[in-house]
Amino acid sequence: MNGLIQKQNSGHNDNYDLDVSIVMPFYKKLREFTKILPYNAIYFQRVGLEVIIVMDEPSEEEGVIQLIKRYPSINWKLIVNDTKHESRNPTKVLNVGIRQASKQYVLVSSPETQFYTDVIYQLRNILEYYPKYYAIGTVAFIQEDTMITKELVQKIWFLPYGSFMTKKEYLMEINGYDESFVKWGGDDDNIRRRLDMIGIRKLFVPESKSLHIEKEKDLVNRPNKSGDLTIAHLRKINYPDVAKVNDQKWGRDFSRIAYDWQNIL
């Protein structure tokens, strides 16, 4: 196996076909995305990479299109839900993106997540050598407008969440994220458990570091988000009964493509 490591001497190789679709659930995050994108753009504009923004309501569509057009070297795809609604668990949104992904690998990220290290390359590289696995990086939650220094990053607590990558075929085999999840949280743990059930194992990549940038009030309230989870729901998250969930309509909650790098006039 040639692998990515042997094709790279130092840093990331912009000419190597990564074959990765980044799926980004998006609900009224234009302000945050506008601030984060200049930092992440260098990682996005690479061969074999597409960024799929899955917008779960239409109010910021024009703003997002104007923003992504400033970065023509990135392969963008924008899918929009025309139904306005309150914020919800992103399982259906993520599944729309997984269905639409054109690459062999899928990386789940968010518009307010800033890559501190080369997360895409780090997760993709290790999966080249461990094909029957999924890879997860780490994330730390940071208040917006904080000065990010090496000293700060060395002190803060990174959790084994944030960035998740595996082959699309494995996600298709289990019918994606469990769309019966409506409360916040648990969908990421649940999909890992179900991948485990079909023999796809976890690779923890601690050197892969992301920063989830949040408003002060959201950061303060974060510990309370999952405080009302019942025992039954916690069991569903961590001990699913079956690996394959949903019906055959999964990932089809909406499908309007507002922008597509493969069909730019």
Indicate whether 27 pLDDT > 80: yes
Report pLDDT for 8: 39
For 202, the token pair is 């976890």
CATH code 2.30.30.60 for 5-245: no
User: What backbone torsions phi and psi does residue 210 show, to the nearest 5 degrees?
Assistant: -120, 155
Burial of 161 (0-12, 13-18, 19+ CB in 10 A): middle
Indicate whether 221 pLDDT > 80: no
Instruction: Give the model confidence (pLDDT) of 124-161 as tens digits.
Output: 999 999 989 999 999 999 888 888 888 888 888 899 88
Per domain, the residue ranges of the chain are: 5-245
> H-helix or E-strand containing 204?
strand 201-214
Indicate whether 217 pLDDT > 80: no
For 252, the token pair is 């089809």
pLDDT band at 13; cut points 50, 70, 90: low
pLDDT band at 1; cut points 50, 70, 90: very low
Burial 219-241 (b: 16+ CB within 10 A, else e): eeeeeeeeeeeeeebeebbeebe
What number of residues does the chain have?
265
